[in-house]
A = this chain, B = another copy of it.
Amino acid sequence: MNVMNDSPRRKELTRQAAQLFVQEGFDRTTVRMLAQEMGIKSGSLFHHFRDKQEILAAVIEEGTQNALAIARETLQQCDNTPEARLHAMARAHLETLLTDRNAHVVALYEWRRLDTAARDHLSHLRDAYEALWEEVIDEALAAGLIHGDRFLVSRFVMGALNWTVRWYDPSGARSPDDLARELVAMISRPAT
């Protein structure tokens, strides 16, 4: 009947679905709304995706993979000090909100709508991303840059960053780099 590959057409449809999911939320977005946004009829949608759930999974996979890629790349390019790496991770996180905002927001806020199968598959991706964070935070703790419980600090930091999607205006005066610097400064002890 249909396929579940990753054709370029499907990539584009996924991008448009992400936009609607952010605007309306997954549950409120109907297949008819999705189809209209994509310029096709609702029936044609199921040629590209097995069901509505699979569209959500595709959006989240795309968003998480993108965040992971940006984070890895940024980490490789920055200086090798704990402070620079912490700053780089924060900046990478905020930059995905610029370049790929919709998919990233959906990954954060519609995770619970995934069925168990999709959640199992995607949680590996998410774990890989969070592992990057814990690694960088461990380094910062070991270097005495920040203090406290490893688990709590990483949760607090990720909370502060994930919450930015609620108030951060990418077209405003503050750049991702500004925010990252401010966050790192807030939690760092004055060094050397």
Residues in B with CB closer than 8 Å to A163 are 155-156, 158-160, 162-163
Q: Does A146 contact B (CB under 8 A)?
A: yes
A164 to chain B: which residues have CB within 8 Å? Answer: 155, 159
How many copies altogether?
2
Contact present for A28 and B27 (CB under 8 Å): yes
Whether A160 lies near B167 (C-beta < 8 A) is no
Interface residues in A23-69 (C-beta closer than 8 Å to B): 25, 27-28
- Report the bound CA distance from A167 to B28 in whole Å: 26
Q: How large is the interface on A (under 10, 10 to 19, 20 to 34, 35 or more residues)?
A: 20 to 34
In the complex the two chains form, is A186's CB within 8 Å of B112's CB? Answer: no
Across-interface contacts of A179 in B (CB, < 8 A) = 152
- A112/B162 in contact, CB under 8 A: no
Question: Can you name the residue of chain B whose Cβ is closest to the Cβ of A146?
Answer: B186
Report if A161 contacts B (CB, 8 A): yes
Q: Which residues between 162 and 183 of chain A lie within 8 Å of chain B, taking CB atoms?
A: 162-164, 166-167, 174, 179, 182-183
Q: Is A157 an interface residue (CB 8 A)?
A: yes
* Residue contacts A-B, CB under 8 angstroms, 25 given: A25-B27, A25-B112, A25-B113, A27-B28, A147-B185, A147-B186, A148-B186, A152-B174, A152-B182, A153-B182, A155-B160, A155-B164, A155-B167, A157-B160, A158-B163, A159-B159, A159-B160, A159-B162, A159-B164, A160-B160, A160-B163, A162-B163, A186-B187, A187-B187, A189-B190
